[in-house]
Amino acid sequence: MKNAKKHVALVCPGGPITRNLADKIVEITADHCGTDLQLHFHNQCFEIAGHFAGTDAMRSDAFLQVANDPKYDAVWFARGGYGACRLDDAVFDKLNESAHQKTYLGYSDTGFLLARLYGQKTGLAVHGPMPTDQPRDGGDVAIKRSLDFLTRRNTDVVESSIRSGAQYAAFNITVLSHLVSAPWMPDLSGHVVMLEDVAEYLYGIDRSMFTIMSSPSLQTVAGIKLGRVSDVPKNDREFGQSEEEIIQYWCARAGVPYLGRADIGHDSDNKVVPFGPCS
Amino acid sequence: MKNAKKHVALVCPGGPITRNLADKIVEITADHCGTDLQLHFHNQCFEIAGHFAGTDAMRSDAFLQVANDPKYDAVWFARGGYGACRLDDAVFDKLNESAHQKTYLGYSDTGFLLARLYGQKTGLAVHGPMPTDQPRDGGDVAIKRSLDFLTRRNTDVVESSIRSGAQYAAFNITVLSHLVSAPWMPDLSGHVVMLEDVAEYLYGIDRSMFTIMSSPSLQTVAGIKLGRVSDVPKNDREFGQSEEEIIQYWCARAGVPYLGRADIGHDSDNKVVPFGPCS
C-alpha cells in the first residue's frame, strides 16, 4: 500500500486562488508525480467573500469536509492570506478518525491551523510551500518540494538542520505572536521553533518577538532558529538592529537559546518542517 | 495642599520628540495653567538610538527616576511610537512609594506601561493625549485636556460614557493584542474596555481582535466599546466588514457584550480614560 496513489485535497482557509493557478499546479503535479499523486481542488478555493475565499462558514465546511473524508491522504492549504483564525471553533471538535490520519501542509497564515491541529494531536502538521508560491522565481521547485513530501515523505526536502531525537515547529512570526494567547496554543516545550516573516517593519518584528518571548508557552522551548525575514518596508527611521539581532535580543531576555539560521521563508527556497519529533 | 502647584515629569518610553515640540508644550502649559502646573522634560526625551529615544537602559532609567522622585506628581508620556515594551523588567520591581502615588498619562504604545502599572496597582494609569498630539488639527485642545486632568482631575475632559460604579481601561487594539500573553497582563474582569487604532489594515484589526478576544483574560470583561479606527490603509482587496462589524463579530464569538462607540482615538478629540473604577 506504500506506493498506492496519493490523493491530496486543497482548500483555502484564508484568501482565494485563481483557476489558472490551480490548472498550473495540476500540470506541474502530473509532470512531476505521474500517477503517484492526484490533486483535488475544492471549489471553495475559488470563492470570494470580501477578503476571504468564501464566508467563514464556507471555509470551515470545506476544511472539515476534506479533513474528514477518508478518500484523501492529505490536506494541502492552497494559500495563506489572512483568515484561517476565523474558522468555526466547532470544526476542531468534529474532526474524525480519518482526519487524525492525514498530513496538513502549509505555512504563513495557515500556521493558525497547523498550531491548532498540532496542539490537539490531529494528524501531521507540516510547514511547507503552497500552490500560491508557484509564481515566485523558482516557484516550480518549491511546489515540487511539497509534492515530494506529500508523495513519499522525502527527507531531502526537509530543512537540513532537522535531526532525529529533537522536536520541531515552524511559524510566521506575526502569526505566532497572534496565537500565543489562544486556549488551544500547543505545548512547544522542548521544541526547536523556526521563525520567518515577510513584509513587516522591523519594529513590528521586534514587537511580535516581545509577545512571543514574553508568553509562558515559549519560555520552555529548546531554542529558536531564524528563517528569512524578507521584503522589510523601509521605515522613516532606521530600526537600529538587524532581524537577527532582534531575535537574539529577545531570546537573551527570555533565557531561551538562539540556535542560528533556518532555511525557511516566504520564498522558493522555503524548506519543509514537519511539526513534532523528527521520524 | 489641593491647589498646590503640580509638577509633571515627561519621558519618552518609545520614540523621541524634538526640543521645538517641548518648547511649544511648555508655552501652551504656561498660557493654560499659569503657575498651577510646571512641566519637566527629562533630557532622555531628546535622545536618539535607532528607532528609540535613547537605548533601552536610558529609557528605563529615565522612567524609573521620574516615577520614584517625590518631587513629581505625575509622569506624562511625551510620545508613543514603538518601544515601551522594551523597558527593563527589573524597573517594575524597583518602583517606590512615591511611584505608587503618581498619575501616569499617555496612550498608544505607552499602553504597554499603563497595563503593567495598572496590573501591579502602581499609581493611577490614565489614557489621554500626549505632547506629540499637538501638531494635529485642534492639537492644542487635546493638550489642554490632559493638562486639565493633570492639574485638577477635571471630569469634563473624561470620556463621556464613564460612570461611577463601573471600571474602565482603554487600549490601542494592536498594542493590546501584543500584551495579552504577558505574565503581567492586568486582570480586566468586569471592566469596560475601550479600543482604538490608527494606520492598520482592517485585516490587521481583525487579526488583533482574534488575539484579544481569544485570550482568557478578555473573556470576563463587562464589555467592549470601540473608539476611532483612523487612517486605515486601502488594501488590494476590500475587507468586506467595517471596523465596527469586526469588533461586533469577535465580541459575539467570545460572548462578550459590545457596548457601542467610545470617544477615543489617534486624534485631537481623544478623551481621557482613567483606568479602574470611576471615582
Q: In sequence order, what DSSP letters do the residues of B241-252 get, joined into one string?
A: S-HHHHHHHHHH
- What is the pLDDT confidence band of residue B235, given thresholds at 50, 70 and 90? confident
Contact between B180 and A179 using a beta-carbon 8 Å cutoff: no
The x, y and z cell numbers of residue B159, run together, are: 470620556
Is any Cβ of chain A less than 8 angstroms from the Cβ of B277? no
SS3 at position A107:
coil
Check the CA dihedral A13-A243-A167-A278 and report its sign: positive
SS3 labels along A233-254: CCCCCCCCCCHHHHHHHHHHHH
Q: Is residue B221 part of a domain?
A: yes
Cα Rg of chain B, angstroms: 18
Residues B264 and B152 in one domain: no
Residues B113 and B173 in one domain: no
Return the number of CB contacts < 8 Å for A and B: 85
Beta strands in chain B (DSSP E): 6-11, 37-41, 74-77, 103-106, 124-127, 167-172, 191-198, 223-230, 258-261, 273-274, 276-277
Is any Cβ of chain B less than 8 angstroms from the Cβ of A120? no
Q: List the beta bridge partners of residue B192.
A: B168, B223
Q: Which of B157, B191, B224 is the last residue of a domain?
A: B157
Residues A122 and A15 in one domain: yes
Q: Find the residue in A nearest to B217 (Cα).
A: A181
Residues B127 and B27 in one domain: yes
| Pair type for strands B124-127 and B273-274 | antiparallel
SS3 labels along B24-79: HHHHHHHHHHCCCEEEEECHHHHCCECCECCCHHHHHHHHHHHHHCCCCCEEEECC
Q: Which amino acid is at B24?
A: K
Q: Is residue B64 part of a domain?
A: yes
* Residue where the block lists cell 485636556: B145
Q: Is residue A228 part of a domain?
A: yes
Q: How far is B267 from chain A (nearest CA, A)?
A: 21
Residues A222 and A140 in one domain: no
Is any Cβ of chain A less than 8 angstroms from the Cβ of B51? yes
Q: d(Cα A149, Cα A158) in Å, to the nearest integer?
A: 8
By percentage, how much of chain B surpasses pLDDT 70? 99
Cα Rg of chain A, angstroms: 18
Q: Is residue A1 part of a domain?
A: no
Q: Is residue A56 part of a domain?
A: yes
Q: Supply the range of the domain harboring residue A62.
A: 6-157
Mutation site for B-interface testing, chosen from A116, A178, A206, A219 by largest number of B Cβ within 10 Å: A178
Q: Is residue B1 part of a domain?
A: no
SS3 at position A122:
coil
pLDDT 10s digits, A94-131: 999 999 999 999 999 999 999 999 999 999 999 999 99
* Residue where the block lists cell 518610553: B13
Q: Is residue B162 part of a domain?
A: no
**Predicted ipTM of the assembly:** 0.96
Which residue in A50, A85, A240 is closest to B51 by CB distance? Answer: A240
Q: Is residue B271 part of a domain?
A: yes
For residue B198, which phi and psi values (nearest 5 degrees)? Answer: -150, 140
Q: List the beta bridge partners of residue A263.
A: none
Mutation site for B-interface testing, chosen from A184, A207, A213 by largest number of B Cβ within 10 Å: A207
Residues A144 and A177 in one domain: no
Residues B11 and B61 in one domain: yes
Which residue in B15, B206, B240 is closest to A49 by CB distance? Answer: B240
Residues A125 and A214 in one domain: no
| Alpha helix (H) residue ranges in chain A | 19-33, 56-68, 97-100, 111-119, 139-152, 173-179, 202-214, 243-254
Q: How far is B176 from chain A (nearest CA, A)?
A: 10
- What is the pLDDT confidence band of residue B236, given thresholds at 50, 70 and 90? confident
Which residue in B49, B82, B210 is closest to A207 by CB distance? Answer: B82
Which residues in chain A come in under a pLDDT of 70? 1-3
Q: Which of B135, B157, B179 is the last residue of a domain?
A: B157
Residues A44 and A171 in one domain: no
Compute the half-sphere exposure of residue B12: CA atoms within 13 Å on the CB side of its CA.
29
Comparing CA positions, the residue from B227, B219, B206 lying closest to residue B162 is B227
Q: Which amino acid is at A117?
A: L
Tell me the CATH number at B209: 3.50.30.60
pLDDT on residue A3: 62
pLDDT on residue B278: 85
- What is the pLDDT confidence band of residue B1, given thresholds at 50, 70 and 90? very low
The x, y and z cell numbers of residue B112, run together, are: 504597554
**Domains contained in chain B, number:** 2
Contact between A206 and B15 using a beta-carbon 8 Å cutoff: no
Compute the mean pLDDT over every residue in chain B, rounded to the nearest whole number: 96
The x, y and z cell numbers of residue A139, run together, are: 516557484
Residues A148 and A17 in one domain: yes
Check the CA dihedral A135-A136-A138-A143 and report its sign: negative
Residues B58 and B148 in one domain: yes
Q: Which of A132, A157, A182 is the last residue of a domain?
A: A157
For residue B191, pLDDT over 90 is answered with yes
- What is the pLDDT confidence band of residue B3, given thresholds at 50, 70 and 90? low
pLDDT 10s digits, B63-90: 999 999 999 999 999 999 999 999 999 9
Tell me the CATH number at B132: 3.40.50.10740
Q: d(Cα A192, Cα A169) in Å, to the nearest integer?
A: 6
By percentage, how much of chain B surpasses pLDDT 90? 95
The x, y and z cell numbers of residue A7, run together, are: 490523493
Q: Which amino acid is at A238?
A: E
Complete edge-to-edge strand list for the sheet that includes strand A223-230: A258-261, A223-230, A191-198, A167-172, A276-277
Residues A62 and A40 in one domain: yes
